Amino acid sequence: MKKTTLLLLSCCSLLLLTQCQKADEEMVPKMQNETEVAAVAAAAPCACSESSTKVSGTSAQAWATQFAPLIKFDRASPDYPTTVENIFASSDPSSAACGGKLVLVERTVPRSKDFPTYFDVQVHPSDADRIFIDYWWAYKRQENCFSNLGGHDYDLEHVVIQFRQSTQRIISVTYFQHGGYYTKDYRSKAAGTRVQAWVGKFAHGMYHFGSSITLPGYECAYWGDYRNPNGTQDEVLTGNRLVQMSCSAFEFNFSGNWGDPGKGPLFRDRSYWNFPACSGTDGPFGQDGCSACDFGNTKQIGTI
């Protein structure tokens, strides 16, 4: 009976998961030169603007290093994050024009765990003791999770850590995945506790726990993606290679879409203090972040 139920869950997931729609792909074999891409961006700078609440300089770097999460990949991960320079160099230069849509032309996925973690630091506009660090990872592709489902070019994933400047203690951690997200309470954690995040094998979503059991098809579901590291060899301490995002970098100044996943980090809403603590109440076959949230979707992150 249990096996039958799991099989039915697997079949249902294939029918109901909208995040597994595969994007159209145009195969062009030649990787573009990074200089060409930079020239296109320089010729038409986009309308990127830094947030009025942004913290930069040595304080931002020190905080980002202090609270940098330990991330854990599945032991059979097909790819890893890469640099934004590599992503744009792998894209059609003409597609990097302001307001355009990046088109990937070189799809060889990175297989190295030596990658940067990009970050942005914001201070709560009405409570200077609350600091928000947004950690981002950039991928060239999201591979298919089952058969020809789920794959698309480009992928951006992130985790947001909120801490108190006065106590240097983490308040909350918000994990994002598949268009949903949820927030975990860190106020009772011991000082210095390292935030950990498990990375989905195929869709790269960020989670607060691992998962070694799934089924064909169900791995496309919100909670179904494998997250089964093989010890420390699949872990990366992100504080070892941190890069602060800035509008001065043409990759982050690009105002168009990174393929189907949408805008780059600096063209998205970064006022996390106003965000509900979670998003997604559709059950296991849809966006279901609130089922793992410690606060529900009526509480704002900045009031925790």
Digit-coded pLDDT (tens) for 18-41: 444 433 333 333 344 545 544 444
pTM value?
0.87
Say if 249 falls within a structural domain. yes
Say if 73 falls within a structural domain. yes
- Predicted pLDDT at 18: 41
Given a contact cutoff of 8 angstroms between Cβ atoms, the answer to whether 141 and 86 are in contact is no
Distance of CA 79 to the CA centre of its chain: 14
Distance of CA 195 to the CA centre of its chain: 15
Amino acid at 198: W
- Distance, CA of 254 to CA of 261 (rounded, Å): 14
For the chain, the domain total comes to: 1
Give the structural domain span for 191: 54-303
What is the CB-side half-sphere exposure of residue 185 using CA atoms within 13 A?
A: 9
Say if 17 falls within a structural domain. no
- Predicted pLDDT at 87: 98
Say if 20 falls within a structural domain. no
Say if 32 falls within a structural domain. no
Say if 192 falls within a structural domain. yes
- Distance, CA of 5 to CA of 301 (rounded, Å): 37
Say if 117 falls within a structural domain. yes
Render each residue's pLDDT in the chain as its tens digit; 304 residues.
444 444 444 444 443 444 444 333 333 333 445 455 444 444 446 999 999 999 999 999 999 999 999 999 999 999 999 999 999 999 999 999 999 999 999 999 999 999 999 999 999 999 999 999 999 999 999 999 888 888 899 999 999 999 999 999 999 999 999 889 999 999 999 999 999 999 999 999 999 999 998 788 888 999 999 999 999 999 999 999 999 999 999 999 999 999 999 999 999 999 999 999 999 999 877 889 999 999 999 999 999 9
Say if 182 falls within a structural domain. yes
Helices then strands, each counted (H, E), the chain? 5, 11
Tokens of 259: 């393929």
Given a contact cutoff of 8 angstroms between Cβ atoms, the answer to whether 98 and 118 are in contact is no
Distances (CA, A) of 165 to 53, 87, 129, 193: 15, 35, 5, 16
- Predicted pLDDT at 116: 98
Q: How many degrees, rounded to 5, is the angle at CA 162 between CA 244 and CA 252?
A: 25
